[in-house]
Chains A and B, each alone.
Chain A
């Protein structure tokens, strides 16, 4: 069974830093792209960042303005998100999500988030 368990959330002051982790189990971690997705209280889902299997391809949402860094340790089956210069608008539940890899029916293809963690809450407030 796939399990994704996030940790590291908490209360941090504006301008501060925080590091989130996601422990993965139940699948071949090194074979899949991984993602962070966040959800501010009462708001919608926002994709944050992705990292490919060997960390060769990394992407971020434009809204982050270079303040976040995603990384992974395939030997430890672990995904991380380092967050700096935090703002009130970064307050959210942060989910770790596994990518499906390319999935095709007879007529169409897509990538999707096929497994999610339970989320960890980050609160940025003075």
Chain B
């Protein structure tokens, strides 16, 4: 069974940093591209970042470029999101997701971790 478990969320002051983790199990993590998607309270879904299986290809939405860094450790079956210079508008539940192939839809989602910037 595919499982994605996010952790690392919490309350942080504006300008602060936080590192999110996503522990993957139930599949061969090293062969799948992964994503971070966020959802502000009461709002819709917003794609944040993607990383290919080998970390060769990395993409970000414009609003987080230069502040967020996506990475992965295939030996540890883990995905990360380092978030620096946090702003109030970064407040959201952050989901990790496994996509099919490269540059496609998200087939499996974690349960999310809440980041509050205040």
A binds B: no
Q: What residues of chain A have their CB less than 8 Å away from a CB belonging to chain B?
A: none
Q: What residues of chain B have their CB less than 8 Å away from a CB belonging to chain A?
A: none
